[in-house]
């Protein structure tokens, strides 16, 4: 029996719970919120689709009763104040940090062995905060950002190509912010065919630009943060963990600070290094100085470029950030 807790019954949290239940990713889902009646009402609404959709998963809504979350395998933290039009994710740090700290303490009191997926904004900062306050191993704290940004990238790419969105390949790395994310246009493809050979460079760059402000665009249109794609992206990560799916999903994770690694074969002006642990395997590509022949990795990172040898060639491929092995 698998159990997942979703903290925060707002738009993102409720959507995450809905996808977890309707896709039958977890046997039991608990939706918890501080506001009286909200999680209970949304859980009841979702479960009233059980007969229609032939669901076997069970969803329970509770108000601030963390005892009901006891022994959760995965906890998704969505609680916090959403963005309003014109706001950056970073402007939410002050208020959301207090919320995330309180939630983390409550969750771990009842599910000390849970894997935590952070969705609350600013996601990268909140993920790092959970590391600092929880003392958990780094392989049990993951930030959901790259999965959403990559999904948006592939959406805009499918529009530009006039292609089926499920047959488009693309990845976004970097931070989960309008100015810090990096859509890797060079590796965007349609069924293995480089997108750069199918559409003009200017159009591909527009796809990247639209991706970077994808969240802000939706906030302006909706008057608040988006929720359908973020909720689905969070549920995708939960499924990867619970099912030991060996999927590679772009995400935020902690690297060992001040880790010194040996240089391996150079690719252009970048170097590929491998680091990680038994649970989260991370491949990072960073610029380096040939004078030192050594490289220092910073705390938060995302997988960039993997590689393997074939004869004397280095065949590069782009995949996403973390391989989840329970």
Q: Is 176 a catalytic residue?
A: yes
Q: Which string of DSSP letters, residue by residue, matches 247-303?
A: -EE--BEEPPTTEEEE---EETTEEEEEEE-SSBEEEEEEE--TTT-EEEE-SEE--
- Rounded CA separation 84/82 (Å): 7
- Rounded CA separation 112/134 (Å): 10
The helix/strand/coil state of 152 is helix
CA distances from 284 to 132, 246, 276, 295 (A): 23, 18, 10, 11
Active-site residue, from 110, 176, 269, 308: 176
In degrees to the nearest 10, what's the CA dihedral of 90, 94, 99, 104?
A: 70
User: Which residues are annotated as catalytic?
Assistant: 176
């Amino acid at each position: 029996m698998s159990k997942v807790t979703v903290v925060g019954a707002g738009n993102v949290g409720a959507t995450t719970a809905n996808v977890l239940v309707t896709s039958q990713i977890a046997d039991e889902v608990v939706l918890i919120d501080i506001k009286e009646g909200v999680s209970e009402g949304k859980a009841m609404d979702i479960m009233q689709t059980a007969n229609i959709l032939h669901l076997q998963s069970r969803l329970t809504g509770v108000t601030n009763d963390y005892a009901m979350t006891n022994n959760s395998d995965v906890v998704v933290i969505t609680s916090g104040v959403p963005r309003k039009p014109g706001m950056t994710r970073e402007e939410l740090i002050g208020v959301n940090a207090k919320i995330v700290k309180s939630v983390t303490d409550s969750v771990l009191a009842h599910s000390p062995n849970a894997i935590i997926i952070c969705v609350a904004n600013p996601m990268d900062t909140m993920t790092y905060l959970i590391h600092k306050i929880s003392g958990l191993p780094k392989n049990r704290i993951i930030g959901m950002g790259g999965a959403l940004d990559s999904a948006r990238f592939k959406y805009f790419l499918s529009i530009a190509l006039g292609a089926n969105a499920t047959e488009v390949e693309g990845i976004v790395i970097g931070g989960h912010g309008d100015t810090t994310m990096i859509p890797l246009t060079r590796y965007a493809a349609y069924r293995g065919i480089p997108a750069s050979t199918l559409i003009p460079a200017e159009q591909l760059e527009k796809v990247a630009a639209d991706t970077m402000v994808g969240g802000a665009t939706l906030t302006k249109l909706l008057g608040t943060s988006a929720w359908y794609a973020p909720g689905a992206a969070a549920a995708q990560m939960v499924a990867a963990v619970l099912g030991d799916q060996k999927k590679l999903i772009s995400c935020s994770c902690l690297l060992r600070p001040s880790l010194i690694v040996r240089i391996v074969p150079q690719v252009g002006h970048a170097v590929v290094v491998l680091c990680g642990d038994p649970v989260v395997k991370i491949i990072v590509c960073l610029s380096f100085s040939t004078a030192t022949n050594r490289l220092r990795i910073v705390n938060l990172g995302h997988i960039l470029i993997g590689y393997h040898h074939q004869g004397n060639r280095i065949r590069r491929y782009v995949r996403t950030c973390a391989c989840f092995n329970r």
